[in-house]
Amino acid sequence: MRSSPGWAAHPGSADRSHRAAATRTTLTVALAAGTGSLDALAFLALGKVFVSVITGNLVLLGIGLGGRGEHQVALRVAVAIASYAVGATAGAAIAGRAENGQPVWPGRVTTALLVELVLLAGFAIGWELAAARPARAAQLVLLGVAAAAMGLQSAAVNRLALPGFSSTYLTSTLIRAVTELIQGPRHHVGAKVAALTSVVAGALAGALLVTAAPRFAPAIAIGLLAAVLVTAMVLSRGGGLLTAPEPPDS
């Protein structure tokens, strides 16, 4: 968004908006870590399928359809892709479209993430009922719930209108980070690198929990999402920091 003459007259407003944007970046990076942990859980315990890496799932779908004895993989992948699409559609309807002059963190983004939290809570209940060892039908149900949650999150973050930045699909984030490092401008590179790093860290933590304490494996994604929601609601209350408009160089 372009700066307006009003920013020059109110430098304090511009500073507040920059602080709000930095806080938003931190919250989005935290969501990315939760995504990494949930993808690790899904791949290791739900049949070698991702719940947010849809490009990878499309490749797995082709392998499953073409390989002998791989039809169960194709079924799991199809469930994940379809559920992600449903979640993204619902998330787009809840979060709405990005608008000129919108606050740094629109209230409808919080609403969409609350719905995601409900889905992840349902996932955790199902995971516990399956004693952290879901099989067959339970795998499919849990895959569907987790992928729908990731689709919701993707649509919610998309409402934030952060160029080349996401908490679920990171290929474009990587491309933009490399491009900006080479060509500039570089003032948003740190946020993109932080998101990429947090996905790896989240996946590592998720994999360790699945191996060492599988009953607690969903806790990372749920805990980070809950922390993001609490922070967003507190900082949006009564004209708080996250209600500031986009900074002039966004």
Task: Find out whether 52 and 84 touch, Cβ atoms under 8 Å.
Answer: yes
Is residue 248 one of the residues assigned to a domain? no
For the stretch 86-131, pLDDT in tens is 999 999 999 999 888 899 999 999 999 999 999 999 999 999 999 9
- Window from 117-121, 136-140, 150-154, 168-172 with minimum mean pLDDT: 168-172
Is residue 87 one of the residues assigned to a domain? yes
Q: What average pLDDT does the segment 126-149 reach?
A: 95
Residue 61: what pLDDT?
A: 72
Is residue 151 one of the residues assigned to a domain? yes
**3-state class of 77 per DSSP?**
helix
Structure tokens at 161: 């209108």
Provide, rounded to the nearest whole percent, the portion of the chain with pLDDT above 70.
79
For the stretch 57-75, pLDDT in tens is 677 677 666 666 556 788 8
Confidence band for 9, pLDDT divided at 50, 70 and 90: very low
Task: Find out whether 105 and 79 touch, Cβ atoms under 8 Å.
Answer: no
pTM for the whole structure = 0.86
Residue 192: what pLDDT?
A: 76
Residue 178: what pLDDT?
A: 61
Is residue 72 one of the residues assigned to a domain? yes
Residue 71: how many CB atoms within 10 A of its CB?
Answer: 11
Which sign, positive or negative, has the C-alpha torsion 242, 243, 246, 247?
Answer: negative
Is residue 110 one of the residues assigned to a domain? yes
Helix (H) or strand (E) holding 93: helix 71-95
Is residue 211 one of the residues assigned to a domain? yes
Please state the domain count of the chain: 1
Confidence band for 8, pLDDT divided at 50, 70 and 90: very low
Is residue 89 one of the residues assigned to a domain? yes
Is residue 168 one of the residues assigned to a domain? yes
Residue 62: what pLDDT?
A: 73
Residue 247: how many CB atoms within 10 A of its CB?
Answer: 20
**Which residues pair with residue 103 across a beta bridge?**
245
Structure tokens at 162: 């952060």
Range of the domain at 208: 33-243
Query: Domain holding 201: CATH number?
Result: 1.20.1250
For the stretch 39-51, pLDDT in tens is 999 999 998 888 9
Confidence band for 163, pLDDT divided at 50, 70 and 90: low
* Averaged pLDDT of the chain: 85
Confidence band for 7, pLDDT divided at 50, 70 and 90: very low
Rounded to the nearest 5 percent, the helix, strand and coil shares of the chain are 75, 0, 25
